[in-house]
Amino acid sequence: MFNKILIANRGEIACRVAATARRMGVRTVAVYSDADASAKHVAACDEAVHIGGSAPKDSYLQWQRILDAAKATGAQAIHPGYGFLSENEAFANACAEAGLVFIGPPASAILAMGLKAESKRLMESAGVPLVPGYHGADQDPHMLQHEADRIGYPVLIKASAGGGGKGMRAVEKAEDFAAALASCKREAINSFGSDAVLVEKYAQRPRHIEIQVFGDTHGNCVYLFERDCSVQRRHQKVLEEAPAPGMTPELRQQMGLAAVAAARAVNYVGAGTVEFIVEQPPEGGMRFYFMEMNTRLQVEHPVTEAITGLDLVEWQLRVASGEPLPLKQEDLRIHGHAIEARICAETPDNQFLPATGRLDVYRLPASIEFLPPLPLGEVRGAGSPAAPQPVRVDSGVREGDAISPFYDSMVAKLIVHGRTRAEALAKMDAALAQTRIVGLSTNVQFLRHVVASPSFAQANLDTALIPREAGVLFHQDKVGLNLAVAAAVAQTLLAERASEGKDPFSRRDGWRPFGLTVRRFDFEYLGEPVQASLTYLHDGALQLAFGEASGLLAFDALPADNGTLMDLRFLGQRQTVQTWQRDEIVHIFCDLGATQITELDALAHAGEAAADVGRLTAPMPGKVVSFAVQAGDVVKKGQPLAVMEAMKMEHTIAAPADGTVAELLYAPGDQVAEGAELLKIQTA
């Protein structure tokens, strides 16, 4: 076994690898960029080496600097994590030439499976069923359009060297193909250094099911069952679970053996994932087609660890050091059900636009960072299912850290395990309900809506689940106006009580010798103004009224290490509510969900003018990729105007209203800050 390894990655996967290495007595070396100088993964390792600027191309993709850091610190091996250099065969070769072990497959396997087109030709020769499509080397746009027309719409354009949903577009009709192809190629070359694509038939209502495989240098190869990753947005996974609902033992074995055959075809060593598209035809049954192989550890590997009781990173280290696989196929068992939710900094109700900012409040459910492996006998045993495991959190950030535009938007992963899928679903909703994040927008409430949606709850899964369930997933505020206003008023009163001294004249309880004290509160909730009045009654009770709502408001402060925690009663509702206030915004959390309400200070906003509808600003920091218009062009509301790139993805900026383009204020390639005005539109 190695004495010391370098982890050539950042964030939660670097922390995850470090946790297993620490348990095994292996020392670790972190690498970090300018932006990550104080990052959690740096603190998680025994040593750390600075390797360059904040952008990945200036640091985490600079593999010569990483090799130099490994040699300088005496590391014997390099774990690449996922993303960045994890599937770069040149880096794997460079490690070998430098006398370092690459904790991953041989470079030849990465090369064979790294290019989607090549891997599909390899699988075709091996007899693995493929989705109809074009996987050739000719990349002429007219020829690709012709192939798409031949295959029949809808089609899927995919970056040949890609992964993680980048460089991928679904095209519904022929007239949209050229623009989608150009966007795919731009995103692909920025993310992977190659703009080659393939075109495939876009399967209707497919499921995305993948098989975890593991090989060693002694010729052994096993599959560690399947994961269902069908719930996706922008072709990126949102929720993953294992085992796949509805999977029969026969189909599991067929897909597992096909995955092992794919791995053996390239002499695979280490952890890998063979991904399949699974269709459920009207006549019944399931058909599966090879999609691609990811030659690395996957983001969603914790659900496989949860149902098998194994530590896949430990397996990686043991196999890379020359040991055989710890178990044979007949030794492996499935215990219970596991679900993983990816918490991301984004705004689901605004087309999942990535968010940046500081984690002012970052509170997760009572959890552990890693689930240690079960005793070997328990894994092998055929007795009762393993007991449910605690909630697991894999995260690379801490409270006070910033989510920057340089890297992926993922904040954390919540992993739950239960004896049954229903038990795991309940645990996931409870874990999400206990999650408190303030400072930037996240998808936590959206994830709760997905988990509770009829399709997901009933395991009616396919990659179109999110658009199909849009009516119950988006723009849903489960807390409601009544509770939001009551919580905001109660928080203000609790803060006032906390500031009172012993002097009776410092009390702010509304007492007066005659008449009643009435206070006015001005709020903004979901974009609408709300005026509330609070009346201090003679018996000490509080009467809260706004709109058509009116009732007694009662609350009691509860002990809390941060924020305001209260038992709140209003209009027949009783909830334990926790709030944090940042400037004028009150962030509200309870079992029903989370929301926010703005408590307006009339004096602070005096004299402010309405926003200028003729301005178009950058919704996040990033780079201007292109403009689709010129000064003088007449545009319609919703028309694409510009394309920005941020957090490794492209985002289209559309016209907010009809008008005429007055001026472009930046050029393609320019870096812009959040809120920067990109262009001006003159409206009627």
CATH topology of domain 481-599: Glycoprotein, Type 4 Pilin (3.30.700)
pLDDT at site 380: 31
Q: 3-state DSSP call for residue 190?
A: helix
Q: Is 1.25.40.10 the CATH number for 207-473?
A: no
Q: 3-state DSSP call for residue 560?
A: coil
pLDDT at site 135: 82
Cα torsion for 127, 129, 131, 134, to the nearest 10°? 0
Sheet hosting strand 622-627, strand order edge to edge: 649-654, 640-646, 622-627, 671-672
H-run or E-run covering 580? strand 573-582
Read off the tokens for 670. 């320019």
Which amino acid does the sequence have at 225? F
pLDDT at site 419: 94
Question: Cα–Cα–Cα angle for 307, 312, 318, nearest 5°?
Answer: 140
CA distances from 119 to 327, 442, 614 (A): 28, 36, 49
In 3D, which of 569, 477, 493 has the Cα closest to residue 526? 477
How buried is 29 (Cβ within 10 angstroms: 0-12 exposed, 13-18 middle, 19+ buried)? Answer: buried
pLDDT at site 601: 73
Which amino acid does the sequence have at 356? T
Residues contacting 402, CB < 8 A, separation 6+: 356, 357, 358, 359
Q: HSE on the CB side for 53, CA within 13 Å?
A: 4
Residues contacting 134, CB < 8 A, separation 6+: 144, 147, 148, 151, 198, 199, 200
CA distances from 625 to 602, 643, 645 (A): 40, 5, 6
CA distance linking residue 193 with residue 197, whole number of Å: 12
* Domain boundary assignment for the chain: 4-103, 132-201, 207-473, 481-599, 615-682
Read off the tokens for 437. 């994040």
In 3D, which of 28, 289, 250 has the Cα closest to residue 156? 289
CA distance linking residue 6 with residue 98, whole number of Å: 14
In contact, 461 and 279? CB cutoff 8 Å: no
pLDDT at site 514: 64
| Cα torsion 54, 56, 57, 61: sign | positive
In contact, 310 and 321? CB cutoff 8 Å: no
Q: How many helices (H) and strands (E) does the chain have?
A: 18, 39
Question: Which class does domain 4-103 fall in?
Answer: alpha beta
CA distances from 472 to 233, 350, 448, 449, 456 (A): 15, 15, 11, 7, 12
Residues contacting 556, CB < 8 A, separation 6+: 566, 567
CATH topology of domain 132-201: Dna Ligase; domain 1 (3.30.1490)
Tokens 């959206």 label which residue?
Answer: 446
Sheet hosting strand 221-233, strand order edge to edge: 287-294, 270-279, 207-215, 221-233, 236-242, 337-344, 410-418, 392-395
Is residue 296 flagged as an active site residue?
yes
Query: Could you tell me the pTM of the whole model?
Result: 0.82
In contact, 532 and 518? CB cutoff 8 Å: no
pLDDT at site 201: 85
The rounded average pLDDT for each run of 10 residues, N- to C-terminus, in the chain (684 residues) is 97 96 97 97 98 96 97 98 94 97 96 79 81 87 94 90 79 94 89 87 88 98 98 92 96 95 94 92 80 94 95 97 96 95 96 92 85 49 56 95 92 96 96 96 97 96 94 94 97 88 64 78 95 93 96 96 95 96 94 95 49 65 88 89 78 86 91 85 81
Q: Would residue 523 be called left, alpha or beta, if left means φ above 0 and alpha means ψ between -120 and 50 degrees? A: beta
Q: Label residues 200-235 b or e (16+ Cβ within 10 Å = b).
A: bbbbeebbbbbbbbbbbbeeebbbbbbbbbbbbbeb
Q: 3-state DSSP call for residue 130?
A: strand
Question: Which class does domain 615-682 fall in?
Answer: mainly beta
Exactly one of 207, 296, 333, 392 is catalytic; name it. Answer: 296
H-run or E-run covering 337? strand 337-344
CA 508 to centroid of chain Cα atoms: 45
pLDDT at site 131: 81
Tokens 């070998």 label which residue?
Answer: 96
